[in-house]
């Protein structure tokens, strides 16, 4: 139930309702999490060391580098925040103590602000992860396809940036922010599958899963949230690759079999070299695209137009 956005004096702090299962299965039956040790050092000491190094050596280029998955230059502090190993206040204090003040630092601080904003949304909409803030979306004509959803989760959509990003989750338990937007847009708009499916999948697979930021992120992508991206904004994964992974370094890290293509352009769109793609498909090394990007974009725009009107 939505509460009114009004300040109440002497409001006592109430705990949120949780949907956690009583039986706690911390580790999945599959051992893919064993690789996480290569990427993460849990604990408060590790979190403090990570943020201090980030502030002294990397934060000054955050605004320029933050959108590049191939550079991998964001702070990766999110799992530490999620497990309470560091607090946003400590991060802000450390930045203030560094006396650094520039565009990059301000951009970083504003991202911490988005996290807080997500929490305020969750406070006012306890069912943020299951119900669209914009009621018009309750009747959105979502498709239903278990097969397409499974291919998305497995990184077998035939769209390399999407597939590489989904593989990053299996490798690291984490995904770059730009890619969360790309895979999210692909699921919700190109595949026209309900955003709550993606939200739940991220719940199970991200080390930094956070009830507020995850739900707010998915609602933003679906265009049904408080600060939703405009409905006509459909991320084109090919253009996103050209802009944010121009040498295809990120894609080739996760899908090395695409190295046989002789240009970044054909790595981004393997179907442009049909003969080579056919040979990969035959050897079960890659797949044909599961949707046509242009047609599926138009289908999404029609569905959104219907909902809007």
Ligand X SMILES: Cc1cc2nc3c(=O)[nH]c(=O)nc-3n(C[C@H](O)[C@H](O)[C@H](O)COP(=O)(O)OP(=O)(O)OC[C@H]3O[C@@H](n4cnc5c(N)ncnc54)[C@H](O)[C@@H]3O)c2cc1C
60 vs 281: CA distance, rounded Å = 44
Could you say whether residue 68 binds ligand X (CB under 6 A)? no
115 near ligand X, judged by CB under 6 A: yes
Beta carbons within 8 Å of 92's beta carbon, 6+ residues apart: 109, 112
The residues pairing with 2 across neighbouring beta strands, listed in sequence order, are 125
Binding mask 231-270 for ligand X (x = CB under 6 A): ----------------------------------------
CB closer to ligand X, 55 vs 206: 206
Number of H helices, E strands in the chain: 15, 0
- Whose Cβ is closer to ligand X: residue 90's or residue 112's? 112
Instruction: Tell me whether residue 220 is one of the annotated catalytic residues.
Output: no
128 lies in the site for ligand X, by CB under 6 A: no
Question: In whole angstroms, how close is the CB of 9 to ligand X at the nearest point?
Answer: 29
Which one of the listed residues 195, 214, 220, 269 is annotated catalytic?
A: 195
81 binds ligand X (CB under 6 A): yes
Compute the least distance from the CB of residue 88 to ligand X, in Å.
7
For residues 25 and 64, the answer to whether their CB atoms sit within 8 Å is no
Report the distance separating Cα 174 and Cα 176, nearest Å: 7
Q: Closest residue to ligand X, Cβ-based?
A: 217
What the block records as the tokens of 196 is 């709550």
Residues 190-219 that bind ligand X (CB under 6 A): 202, 206, 208-210, 213-214, 217-218
**How many CA within 13 A on the CB side of residue 192?**
18
CA distance linking residue 293 with residue 297, whole number of Å? 6
> Which residue in 218, 220, 236, 269 is the catalytic one?
218
Among 78, 157, 194, 196, binds ligand X (CB under 6 A): 78
In contact, 252 and 162? CB cutoff 8 Å: no
User: According to CB under 6 A, which residues from 267 to 286 bind ligand X?
Assistant: none
Would you call 143 helix, strand, or coil by DSSP? strand
Spatial distance between the Cα atoms of 60 and 271, rounded to a whole number of angstroms: 39
Site residues for ligand X, 151-180, by CB under 6 A, read 177, 180
- Minimum separation from the CB atom of position 286 to ligand X (A): 25
Q: If you search the block for the tokens 């988005």, which residue do you land on?
A: 114
Number of neighbours of residue 176 by Cβ within 10 angstroms: 24
Where do contacts with ligand X occur on this chain (CB under 6 A)? Answer: 66, 74-78, 81-82, 111-112, 114-115, 118, 177, 180-181, 184, 202, 206, 208-210, 213-214, 217-218, 221
**Residues taking part in catalysis:** 111, 114, 142, 177, 195, 218
């Amino acid at each position: 139930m939505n509460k009114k956005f009004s300040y109440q004096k002497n409001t006592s702090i109430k705990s949120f309702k949780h949907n956690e299962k009583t039986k706690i299965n911390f580790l999945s039956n599959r051992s893919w999490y064993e690789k996480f040790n290569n990427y993460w050092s849990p604990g408060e000491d590790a979190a403090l060391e990570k943020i201090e190094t980030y502030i002294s050596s990397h934060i000054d280029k955050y605004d320029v580098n933050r959108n590049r998955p191939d550079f991998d230059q964001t702070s990766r502090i999110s799992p530490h925040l999620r497990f309470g190993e560091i607090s946003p206040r400590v991060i802000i204090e450390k930045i203030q103590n560094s006396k650094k003040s520039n565009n990059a630092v301000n951009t970083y601080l504003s991202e911490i602000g988005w996290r807080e904003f997500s929490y305020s949304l969750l406070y006012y909409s306890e069912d943020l992860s299951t119900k669209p803030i914009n009621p018009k979306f309750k009747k959105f004509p979502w498709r239903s396809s278990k097969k397409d959803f499974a291919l998305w989760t497995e990184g077998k959509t035939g769209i390399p940036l999407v597939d590489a990003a989904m593989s990053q989750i299996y490798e690291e338990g984490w995904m770059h922010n730009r890619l969360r937007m790309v895979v999210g847009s692909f699921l919700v708009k190109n595949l026209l599958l309900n955003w709550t499916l993606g939200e739940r999948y991220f719940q199970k697979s991200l080390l930094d899963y956070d009830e507020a930021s995850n739900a707010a992120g998915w609602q933003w992508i679906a265009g049904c949230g408080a600060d939703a991206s405009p409905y006509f904004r459909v991320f084109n994964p090919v253009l996103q690759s050209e802009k944010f992974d121009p040498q295809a370094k990120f894609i080739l890290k996760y899908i090395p079999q695409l190295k046989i293509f002789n240009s970044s352009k054909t790595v981004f769109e393997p179907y442009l070299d049909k003969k080579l793609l056919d040979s990969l498909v035959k050897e079960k090394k890659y797949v044909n695209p599961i949707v046509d990007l242009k047609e599926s974009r138009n289908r999404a725009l029609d569905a959104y137009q219907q909902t809007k009107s």
